[in-house]
Structure 1
Amino acid sequence: MTAPRLFRGLMAAAIALPLALLGACGGDDDSSNSGKTELTFFWWGGEARAKLTEQALALYTQKHPGVTFKTTWQANQGYFDKLATLTAGDGAPDIFQIDDNYLAEYATRNVTEDLTKYQDSGKLDVTKFPESLWKYGVVGDKLAGLAMGENTQGLVFNKTKLEAAGQELPKTGMSWADFITWAQRAGAATGTAGTMDPSADYKAFWVWLRQNGKDFYTGNQLGFAKEDVQKWFELWKGARDAKATPTADVIHEGNATDITKQLVVTGKALTSWVWANQMPDIQKNTKDELGVVAYPGDPSAQWARASMYLSVYRGSKHKDAAVDVLNFLANDPEAGKILGTDRGLPSNLDIRTSVASSTSDPSMKASIALEDELVSKFGPAPTVPPKGHATVKTELIKAAEAAQFGTADPAKAAEQFRTAAQAAISR
């Protein structure tokens, strides 16, 4: 181990110690010492998520006085480093938040409790979930996490600028070629590039692959060939050459995941490629009115994606109680009203309808409306990405930017990505 890695490891262990101690405290669910159960709960997010989560957990304790919580949260940066340290030391929290970048890794390491038996017994109710949504938490034959929100890919566009220039708005179902033509025309009319170049965006590539009879992954293997990547990169080289997108330096800004750097927010493109549930946060960062539609092509290539999950630690002494908390957060109407769409559109469709009818936020209404429009069109959920997916996403950005800046042609950039992606999932 190099000195920097050793230092980071020691720091992570030091930071994690309080949580490790929390994970070790308490007794069985039917503790005979005090009749109380204390659950540890760890998640990432900002202060707004922390406030809402704490309120929902306080409601659970109000309804179940024998259960209390020790909560810890932090920003996304470093979250999974800390979680890895905790689980390596057998000190993981009873309940922890996770996403599809890491769910397969933790499930295959037997860190997550298999929730199937709770689902089968009705203690974990997913009957109001879209089937493809709860199934997106299955790894192998085990339900490794409960989807706490539904999401799908969303193309956000600047409605204000388009209408001011007398331009038609993008529509769900446009072909990719028609969309690029639209972006070229709209860009010329408004003086703003028609679309962000999404060639570095794994979400867009994934949808395009499914529309072309392929998939990002087939089990634990890549589901595409080098030639598929080359066609994808060539599609967007043509769009750049046609001036339908901004220049490479501006595209690079949009490749950042920060909402505030999306080009539809900074005014450098008329559209950005995001997750639909990000629409309200994007809207908060611009005075222009935004709209959202599905990605181009056949919308059945999109699916009900779990925006994030809650999992139960397999070594928890309070698994039954922890599962009951998951069930409460997902299915209790009062908890659903508190949590809103912070972790994605509510998985329980009844609660989603209630949240949609009670919100006064037009951007939240728009994102819910898109999901409602597509729910009958969604295709089957793909398998959860295998271990190494986070690295694959990074490698796609590297290769796409090589093509965007012209340091590699589409064929060479495609080979670079395919090789790096294979190495990432083979480690």
Structure 2
Amino acid sequence: MIPLPTAPRARLRSAALALLLFLVAGVVACGKDTDAPADGGPVQLSVFWYGNQRRAELTEQALQAYTRRHPGVTFRVTWQGSDGYYQRLATQSAGGNPPDLFQLDEDYLTEYAQRQIALDLTEFVDRRRIDLTRLSPSLVQSGTVNGRVMAVAAAENTPALVYNRGLLRRLHLREPNPDMTYDQYVSWARQVTVRSGGRVAGTMDPSADIRALWVWLRAGGLEFYRGRQLGFTADDLARWFEFWQDARTSRATPAAAVVQAANSGDPARQLVVTGRAAASFAWSQQLTELQRNTRDELALAGLPGAANAQWARASMYWAAYRGTRHADTVADVINFLTNDPQAGRILGDERGLSANLDIRQAVQSSLGDRAARLSATFETAMAERFGPAPPPPPPGQARIRALLRTAAERAESGRATGRTAAADFVEQANTALSG
């Protein structure tokens, strides 16, 4: 079996934040927490999110549905791709012109909460202005920082193996299953490589993937973070890198150059759709987009190892600006996007499965796309096996992601041993988290 991680030997120094967010804090401190009735007006709320054209169209439709019910409330919307989104959001806040309602992901939630950029929503949850009773406890926990509700999950998503079912049928090989150990999974992947005559490797190498590493750590009783520091040692990470180095040597994974082309996470570059591997590590909700990039039939399986090492993850969150003049109205819009059946039908599964369990069930039955239905069915089945959610990551996770990718690629390419790359990562991560 793959060696499980050992307990951390030392605590790292506490986390600090980027200079730009430091400047933002000064501006936010001057903001007001006044509000306006949800049905009052006229009120215009600014809304900002990242995503593609389809997300923009559906989100605007949902906001228009809110306006039809509350004619006094209109929206000024702005959206863009993910690249540069957080730089623009921080610049807007520092310049005193932040959006009233904006989209966050787990990399930045704690930063925006601790710098008091995001509005504390606890009061609205306590008063049921934002109703979270139909969200799973883990999903509610994922938006809670230091006991305060700082954001609400816009949807739920789950890490998964996306595999080429059509290829496996042609090779007369069994499909992966969620009860495989990592050793069994790599053994299965070697069979794919051999049976295909080396034309297709069995699996993507996920050593640079923070999702896969985090789940593996939890299977060994660890977390990626312990408070504001790493929750594992260089020895733990070295075992992870060395395991995948062995998989590469046995040809269960492709060459390093092929793997690194897919490390960005761009769906179009995933090896399961470029034909370079039979399986990739991805988000289950990405199945629809991945399927568009290949003629072969794709399917989903759980990650190798203990299923309860996974948890209900928010694909992204809705958060409000602490200085908004319309806090009560913003809270009502968040509640609408979270709990209203019409909003749920409009938004569908574009950001992931609805955070509201009732709406999720209703939307799941109406999905027209095969891949979307398969993704919804998979996530619903996995929910029964989830473990508890960890707290949101500390400030600096975006930097930690980048450092992990650099360290993993050094190990993948042989520019450093797994042990050296791991030691360098831990040192650099310590610096990034401690400032």
* Structure-2 separation of matches of 1:361 and 1:279: 11
After superposition, what is the alpha-carbon deviation per residue over 1:113-150, rounded to whole angstroms, capped at 9, x for unaligned?
Answer: 11111111111111111110111001112111100000
- The alpha-carbon deviation at position 89 of structure 1 amounts to 2.5
* Structure-2 separation of matches of 1:53 and 1:31: 19
Matches within 5 A, 1:349-360: 349-360=357-368
Number of paired residues?
A: 405
| Alignment of 1:114 onto 2:117 | no
Aligned to 1:29: 36
Give the counterpart letter for 2:127 in structure 1. Answer: S
* Ranges in structure 2 where 5+ consecutive residues have no aligned partner: 1-19, 21-26
Q: For the structure 1 residues 238 and 37, does the alpha-carbon distance in structure 2 shift closer, same or farther, using more than 3 Å as the test?
A: same
- The alpha-carbon deviation at position 30 of structure 1 amounts to 5.2
Q: Out of 43, 47, 64, which is 1:41 matched to?
A: 47
Aligned to 2:338: 330
Measured on the aligned residues, the alpha-carbon RMSD in Å equals 1.9
Aligned to 1:184: 190
Give the counterpart letter for 1:103 in structure 2. Answer: L
What is the TM-score normalised by the length of structure 2? 0.90
What is the TM-score normalised by the length of structure 1? 0.92
Aligned to 2:170: 164
Q: Out of 260, 263, 277, which is 2:271 matched to?
A: 263
| Alignment of 1:313 onto 2:326 | no
* Structure-1 separation of matches of 2:200 and 2:38: 63
Q: Out of 228, 237, 251, which is 1:243 matched to?
A: 251
Aligned to 2:386: 378
Matches within 5 A, 1:409-424: 409-424=417-432
After superposition, what is the alpha-carbon deviation per residue over 1:136-190, rounded to whole angstroms, capped at 9, x for unaligned?
Answer: 0011121111000001111100000001110000001100000000000122112
* Ranges in structure 1 where 5+ consecutive residues have no aligned partner: 1-8, 10-19
* Structure-2 separation of matches of 1:256 and 1:316: 35
After superposition, what is the alpha-carbon deviation per residue over 1:12-52, rounded to whole angstroms, capped at 9, x for unaligned?
Answer: xxxxxxxx9xxx9xx951599x9311111111111111100
Q: Following TM superposition, where does structure 1 have runs of at least 4 consecutive aligned residues deviating by more than 6 angstroms?
A: none
Matches within 5 A, 1:201-350: 201-350=209-358
The DSSP-based 3-state class of the residue aligned with 1:48 is helix
After superposition, what is the alpha-carbon deviation per residue over 1:325-380, rounded to whole angstroms, capped at 9, x for unaligned?
Answer: 01001111111011011111100111111111011211111111111111121111
CA contact (8 A) 2:38 2:328 kept: no
CA contact (8 A) 2:38 2:332 kept: no
CA contact (8 A) 1:283 1:363 kept: yes
The DSSP-based 3-state class of the residue aligned with 1:328 is helix
* Structure-1 separation of matches of 2:241 and 2:177: 23
* Structure-1 separation of matches of 2:320 and 2:410: 41
Give the counterpart letter for 1:137 in structure 2. Answer: G
* Greater RCO (CA < 8 Å, at least 6 residues apart): 2
* Structure-2 separation of matches of 1:247 and 1:282: 22
CA contact (8 A) 1:45 1:76 kept: yes
Aligned to 1:13: none
Matches within 5 A, 1:146-165: 146-165=152-171
Q: For the structure 1 residues 31 and 382, does the alpha-carbon distance in structure 2 shift closer, same or farther, using more than 3 Å as the test?
A: closer
| Alignment of 1:72 onto 2:78 | yes
